[in-house]
Chain A
Amino acid sequence: MSTGDPFSLAGKRILVTGASSGIGRQTAISCAQMGAQLVLSGRHAERLAATCAELEGEGHTQIVADLTRQEDIDRVVDESGPLNGVVHAAGISKLAPFRLISRAHLDEIFSGNVYAPILLTKGLLAKKRIAAQGSILFISALASHVGPVASGVYSASKAALLGAMRTLALDVVKQGIRANCIAPGYVRTPMLEGLNQGGGSIDEHAKLTPLGLGEPEDVAYAAVFYLADASRWVTRNYFIVDGGLTVPMDIYA
């Protein structure tokens, strides 16, 4: 593609967390295909290296880190270098009916899904790691609006990202930095497969979704749009990528 392509990520360095699997992994792969240089973060060294090996282009780096630990967040901030984009794709999901919610369960889910992306963003901003015209993207989830069974804490954690993002976007607009959320529906990922071992079935989720189960690429391409200059006028935005799952639901009621 020619230079001046608003969808190209050539010349951009992008940090993707949760890059060892699922949506994070595919986002890294698709961003590299669009020309970006990647900084990958993930907990599993071997799987992270496997993602890195799949990236087109050169100069990609990987940082093995558990973002529920502050020292690991600090290390990612220190080692990431200058960035033009950040995709917070790391996340965890565990089901618990409301009467069985414990402080430990809340701490675990919020630590991974809320504290980590917020504190990592804070660290990157404090060290001025994100360049002007940069784009910060949070992978939220439709659970934030839908509230599926037994996912109270997970849904709350994903909803928290929306509130944080709206304020963050105002804070960073003076530097020309944008912040947005993507809210995916049911996507074929290890996380969904993990949930289904708890009793659900992937086929059921696929049946609920008018366009069927999503693929990680579908979310990755939305991320490419939000990272690229094509979306330079879009900030404080919450974008639903769900194959139509919520079309028959009044999620704003």
Chain B
Amino acid sequence: MSNPAHKAFSLEGKTILVTGASSGLGRQIAISCAHRGARLVVTGRDAMRLQETHDQLKGAGHVQVTADLTSSDDRERLAQVSDNIDGLVLCMGGQMLSPIRQLKEALMTAMYRTHFLAPVMLTQRLLQANCINKNGSIVFMLSTAAHIGTRGVGPYSAMKSGLLGIIRCLAIELAPRKVRVNGISPSVVPTPQLWGEDNEQNEPLNKERARHPLGLGTPQDVANGAVYLLADASRWVTGTSLVMDGGAVL
């Protein structure tokens, strides 16, 4: 059974590159995209965990590339195997908290390299090498931290806000090729790596849960948002971000 609406929400025939695919949101996005018919190129730093993601991808023809995208050599190596990309999801990350008064240059530089330099320069390389197809979709994983102020989150907030600037300008630059550029801004999704085990003793998580009218999100929720932004259903959505926050509101 296939009609225009079903086709609009399918990823059949599309190749999607997901960074940060070895865990958390990136992994679930890769799994969900494969489930909707996409061929995946997955990349992450940890070879073993990346293999675990790869093993969970439905369908055939998926490619995995172990890479540290803060390195230009690794970005180049990834670009070499990434031709005809219809969707690019930039998910690499990792939280580091620091009040600004105690901020160390080394931490700020690390945040800049991982959260800003790596996704922006990978996108640059893929565009310059003509790896991204017409009607393609680029999705930056942001966070509600891109829009709101939270104690101690300054370095992360700043890099995610910085990506908003890239999203808007790139959306204009790529519109003639009908390539769209958007962000997803999730609030708290308790992935074990970032938040630890979600149980009654996990005070930070319980506090977060209390301020979200619909409770906390799951990686599947965010992956569904990514599927919408990658599918043709969103072909007229560009330069904006999809806020997923259980009603907490920016």
Q: How near does chain A come to B40, taking the closest CB pair, in angstroms?
A: 18
Q: How near does chain A come to B124, taking the closest CB pair, in angstroms?
A: 19
Q: Which of A68-76, A80-88, A152-160, A236-244 contacts B (4 or more CB under 8 A)?
A: A236-244
Q: Nearest chain-B residue to A252 (Cβ)? A: B147
With contact pairs A7-B224, A34-B5, A221-B234 given, residues A236 and B247 touching in the complex (Cβ less than 8 Å): yes
Is B227 a contact partner of A230 (Cβ separation < 8 A)? yes
Is B178 a contact partner of A166 (Cβ separation < 8 A)? no
Is A211 a contact partner of B178 (Cβ separation < 8 A)? yes
Q: How many residues of A contact B (CB 8 A)?
A: 42
CA A169 – CA B227 in complex, angstroms? 24
With contact pairs A211-B180, A243-B236 given, residues A1 and B6 touching in the complex (Cβ less than 8 Å): yes
In the complex, chain B residues 140-196 whose Cβ is within 8 Å of any chain A Cβ: 168, 171-172, 175, 178, 180
In the complex, chain A residues 232-253 whose Cβ is within 8 Å of any chain B Cβ: 232-237, 239-244, 246-248
In the complex, chain A residues 211-239 whose Cβ is within 8 Å of any chain B Cβ: 211, 214-215, 217-218, 220-222, 224-225, 230-237, 239
CA A239 – CA B238 in complex, angstroms? 11
CA A210 – CA B240 in complex, angstroms? 13
CA A248 – CA B173 in complex, angstroms? 11
Is A222 a contact partner of B234 (Cβ separation < 8 A)? yes
CA A152 – CA B84 in complex, angstroms? 46
With contact pairs A34-B6, A233-B217, A233-B218 given, residues A239 and B242 touching in the complex (Cβ less than 8 Å): yes
Is B172 a contact partner of A178 (Cβ separation < 8 A)? no
Q: Nearest chain-A residue to B228 (Cβ)? A: A225
Q: How many residues of B contact A (CB 8 A)?
A: 39
- Chain B 195-237 interface 0/1 with A at a Cβ cutoff of 8 Å (1 = within): 0000000000000000001100110110011011000011111
Is A241 a contact partner of B221 (Cβ separation < 8 A)? no
Residues in B with CB closer than 8 Å to A215 are 236
A119 CB-CB contact with B under 8 Å: no
Q: How near does chain A come to B219, taking the closest CB pair, in angstroms?
A: 11
CA A251 – CA B247 in complex, angstroms? 22
CA A30 – CA B171 in complex, angstroms? 27
B103 CB-CB contact with A under 8 Å: no
Q: How near does chain A come to B235, taking the closest CB pair, in angstroms?
A: 7
Q: How near does chain B come to A140, taking the closest CB pair, in angstroms?
A: 14
- 10 cross-chain CB contacts under 8 A: A6-B220, A173-B247, A210-B175, A222-B234, A224-B9, A234-B243, A235-B213, A236-B247, A240-B240, A247-B171
Q: Besides A232-B221, A236-B248, 12 other CB < 8 A contacts?
A: A7-B228, A30-B8, A33-B3, A210-B239, A214-B236, A221-B8, A221-B233, A224-B9, A234-B242, A234-B244, A241-B237, A242-B240
